[in-house]
Structure 1
Amino acid sequence: DYRELLTAGANLCLIDPRHLSDPRYTGHDTFNDQIALADVLVANKTDLCSDEDLAAFDALVQSSQPAKAQSVRVEQGQVEAALLALPSNPERLQLSDHGHHHHHSKEAAAPVALEAGESLRRLESHGEGHFSCGWLLTGDWVFSLDALRHWFDQLDVNASKVVRAKALIHTDQGHYVLNWRDGVLSEMPTRALEESRLELITELKSDADALESSLLRCRSHG
């Protein structure tokens, strides 16, 4: 539908070099497929990287076949738009077959949503060495943004070893996208939402009841 309106530029892959020493990433098919697909490798968060991390990124660039069009180092995801104009290698679109079959069609499963009259639903799962715990919340509920910030701050001391947390949520200061990783919370205003969503990815199974109770205490009742 968009073929006559949009042009695909070079494919950029954003990498946190600190993960290049972690076999959970380097041994993961999706991680390696994304690197193989990229025309440009971008090392992000370089201000937080050690010399060893950056050397691992440089080694990855040097070992990539076919060679990448370019590699860059950035901070805060500040990527130059000019990189999109670099040549793209169509052969990189032919990803190796790891036995995964992705079907993108109108028959794909519909997103999980709350049923009529339902205000909250908790979803839990695990796989590939991690656990996830998430909530669907009615958009009628309004959460205190300051209380949510404190709730995310407490994830650093959570016994389940939180790897990442993200939310699309209705707050008393508007609707927000929240992303937490490595102890840092980023915030971005977003459009109005019919329902709020929040998910945690952890290394160990979390105490979902305790997390849910503390989350619900962040609701604004003003």
Structure 2
Amino acid sequence: MPKLENIPTNIITGFLGVGKTTAINALLSQKPKDETWAILVNEFGQIGIDQAVMETPSDGVAIKELAGGCICCALGPTLTSTLAILLRRSKPDRLIIEPTGIGHPAGIIDTLQNENFRDILDLRSVICLLDPRSLDNQETVSNPTFQDQINLADVIILNKTDLATEAQISFAEQQSTMLFPPKQAVIKSINGEVSLNLLDLIGKGGRQALFPDAHSDAEISASNLATPSTSSKVSLPTVQLQLIPKPAMPFVKEGQSNGLYSCGWVFNSEDVFKLDSLKSIFKSLLKIQRIKGVFHTDEGWVLYNQVIDEATFSPIAYRRDSRLEIITTQALAKEDIQKNLLACLYTS
């Protein structure tokens, strides 16, 4: 059995909704056919969706999803064991880690460089995706995790430049190139299109977190409801959805951490939604940071993506079940949302 050592490893960070999963899909499309890649995806929400969204080749890619908190804090104790199992099983030629959008990279970097992985992993460029428009949002700019995602990155990708103004792009590029230590590269991108060569850039060192304890006092809670009327408390690292929900009786999970609230639903694959009705529900929600979902609708299976008030629907190949995750800055009225979601279903 070949020894696991010096596996090229990258962390791809960026705030909520900046396009990390899209960028990883773009990188996977460039993967050499003779290589195996391992992808570890971390989601803040309780319902894993990113693994369903990743359009991976038929072989040569092993994906592991960790949902229900940040691997830098809530799921920190499980990161080492999960990563070890993923590496043993896949024996990859490259490892890519995608933390949640509110995840602080410092703890992940420390884990990858500790005695457990020092000889196994070769940490290369830490890549941060940045939407130039986010620099207009003072609440985002003042967020310690947002600042350290940029500060600890070796490469900055200015993504979604097709949606930003020239002034916003120019300002973001100027600010990124002025950072010290200098970045290895500052690249403009649309739809997460980046060159594979960026993965093998090596950080020059000297990068330090300004807010290493940004998540240390985070309040974390979660609940798992087997049906809308039954609840039980569980710890985040062990949250799993193993049962299949019955038609029109979804599972729902909620969590809270770092000033954000999440609530997610998993529906039976036979539940079919009216797409126009879904759009109306999502438009009516307030204080939204992120909505992501895959739905079986009257217009086929679709992926829904919303960042604050910017939303898109697109076709998706996923067919297992309909699922939804909502992240907000205030507690969610989950019963009302679920009632409205069920009202969108076709009934026989």
TM-score (norm 2): 0.50
Unaligned runs of 5+ in 1: 102-106
Q: Distance in 2 between matches of 1:200 and 1:125?
A: 10
CA contact (8 A) 1:129 1:203 kept: yes
2:122 paired with 1:18? no
Shift of 1:45: 1.6
CA contact (8 A) 2:277 2:344 kept: no
The alpha-carbon distance between structure 1 residues 12 and 153, as it changes in their structure 2 partners (threshold 3 A), is: farther
Residues 24-65 of structure 1 deviation map (CA, whole Å, 9 limit, x = unaligned): 222222212221232211111222223442243123213322
**C-alpha root-mean-square deviation of aligned residues, in Å?**
3.6
Residues 58-94 of structure 1 deviation map (CA, whole Å, 9 limit, x = unaligned): 23213322100111112222223332233334554x6
The alpha-carbon distance between structure 1 residues 202 and 48, as it changes in their structure 2 partners (threshold 3 A), is: same
- The residue number in structure 2 matching 1:208 is 334
2:299 paired with 1:184? no
* Sequence identity percentage: 27
Q: Distance in 2 between matches of 1:48 and 1:188?
A: 21
The AA in structure 2 aligned to 1:71 is V
Unaligned runs of 5+ in 2: 1-83, 96-123, 217-234
Shift of 1:110: 1.6
- The residue number in structure 2 matching 1:7 is 94
Q: Distance in 2 between matches of 1:21 and 1:141?
A: 42
The AA in structure 2 aligned to 1:217 is A
Aligned partner of 1:199 among 321, 325, 335: 325
The alpha-carbon distance between structure 1 residues 50 and 129, as it changes in their structure 2 partners (threshold 3 A), is: farther
Secondary structure at 2:323 match in 1 = strand
Shift of 1:166: 0.8
Q: Distance in 1 between matches of 2:215 and 2:292?
A: 26
Point out the more displaced range, 21-30 or 163-172: 163-172
The AA in structure 1 aligned to 2:92 is L
TM-score (norm 1): 0.72
The alpha-carbon distance between structure 1 residues 99 and 48, as it changes in their structure 2 partners (threshold 3 A), is: closer
CA contact (8 A) 2:264 2:326 kept: yes
Secondary structure at 2:237 match in 1 = coil
- The residue number in structure 2 matching 1:120 is 250
